[in-house]
A = this chain, B = another copy of it.
Amino acid sequence: MIQPDRNDRQFMARAIELARQGWGRTYPNPMVGAVVVENGVVVSEGWHSAAGHAHAEIEAFRALGRNPQPGASLYVTLEPCSTTGRTGACTEAILQSGIQRVVVGTIDPNPVHRGAGLDHLRQAGIEVVEGVLAEDCADMNLLFNHWMSQQTPFLAAKIATTLDGKFCAANGHSKWITGEAARKDVMRWRRYFPAIAASAETILADNPALNSRLPEGHWCPRRFLFDRTLKTLPHAHTLQVFNDAQAEQTTLVCSEHTDISSAQLSNFNIWQLPEKNNHIDLAAFRNRCREEAIQGVYIEPGPRWTSALLAEQSIDYLFHYIAPKYMADTEAPGIGKTRRTSSMNEAYTLAHTRNKSLADDLLVRGSILPAQ
């Protein structure tokens, strides 16, 4: 394989920056960025701005407005597509441009297409360098990659705790654990996911809007309210998720054993799902999301639900915000229930972790590995 050089990484970093301009808007497509470089200088840039719009490579060629000069390179964060979708195969556009060198971040995660685009280019005599900043390129598209490779929705949970793992004070007081920068970061991730889920307990305690409020605009994803016994119903007239302008985006998720014949329920979207251990079976929820092509859900659980999600290995990913504080109170709720561990090997581990400082707070995120 041809080795990338230092400049390759620099230009790929720029392509990643461009890709991120599509944050939240490209779903169900991935974020992708591209640059054309001639003589060590970026001469044009492009990114995928929204599903149905042109792919990043095409945007970069359009911005150039002419064919690249001999010796030019194309940098693109994701393997160019070789199939004609709504927008025409990118590999064809690359061949037509006459460019002779293509540098790629990650391979297409779709097992059907994986590597086909690069093969196509190589067969046409183009020099292909792959794997440049591959981890960063892949990390941008966690949701897309999971859906494509696993054929199942990407279920992620978001929690915020102190350094000693506490969600709140002993009496439940939790405003605020983390600071503004961390809470704004949550708003960014809510924008990333097509759906959010919260429990009836959270809705009743905090009456949250469960939407994404960012300086650049507000966005309301699908909102799933996990309410096994429909205990929010008596309070529905006071709850934001049932009464704001996006109320039709809210779905109640209740048990298949719960009576939903009440006339009051005719105005609500309801999913009835099987139970498991006295809560909604996440596997059934995952299946229903798959059927409805909801490719990812951002779950915002409290301590008990987090403990169940970990114990039952029913989520794929965890976003853990950490404030530099200690409650130092055994009565303050944390993660877990009694399971009498006898070895560190019984711990649930995060893999491919990424850490980010957010003012005084930290975000640690990663994929959940099965316990050994």
In the bound complex, do residue B171 and residue A340 qualify as a contact, i.e. CB atoms below 8 Å apart? yes
Given contacts A163-B320, A334-B334, A362-B364, contact A341 B326 (CB under 8 A): no
CB nearest to A354 among chain B residues: B357
Bound Cα distance A164, B350 (Å): 12
Tally of A interface residues using CB under 8 Å: 54
| Candidates B161, B320, B338, B349; contact of A331 at CB < 8 Å | B338
Please, which residues of chain B bring their CB within 8 A of the CB of A326?
Answer: 310, 335-336, 347-348
A339 within 8 A of B: yes
A157-190 interface code vs B (CB 8 A; 1 in, 0 out)? 0000111111011110111110000000000000
A10 within 8 A of B: no
Given contacts A334-B334, A362-B362, contact A324 B350 (CB under 8 A): yes
In the bound complex, do residue A327 and residue B355 qualify as a contact, i.e. CB atoms below 8 Å apart? no
In the bound complex, do residue B168 and residue A165 qualify as a contact, i.e. CB atoms below 8 Å apart? no
The A contact surface, by secondary structure, is loop
In the bound complex, do residue A325 and residue B350 qualify as a contact, i.e. CB atoms below 8 Å apart? yes
In the bound complex, do residue A339 and residue B329 qualify as a contact, i.e. CB atoms below 8 Å apart? yes
A353 within 8 A of B: yes
CB nearest to A311 among chain B residues: B328
Given contacts A327-B347, A334-B334, contact A341 B171 (CB under 8 A): yes
In the bound complex, do residue B164 and residue A336 qualify as a contact, i.e. CB atoms below 8 Å apart? yes
Bound Cα distance A169, B366 (Å): 22
A346 within 8 A of B: yes
Bound Cα distance A364, B162 (Å): 12
Residue among A310, A346, A362 with the highest chain B CB neighbour number at 10 A: A346
In the bound complex, do residue A327 and residue B336 qualify as a contact, i.e. CB atoms below 8 Å apart? yes
Please, which residues of chain B bring their CB within 8 A of the CB of A339?
Answer: 170, 328-329, 331
Given contacts A326-B336, A355-B362, contact A163 B344 (CB under 8 A): no
In the bound complex, do residue B325 and residue A348 qualify as a contact, i.e. CB atoms below 8 Å apart? yes
Can you list the 10 inter-chain pairs with the closest CB atoms, starting with the nearest?
A165-B165, A328-B336, A164-B165, A325-B347, A169-B341, A324-B350, A164-B335, A171-B342, A329-B341, A326-B348
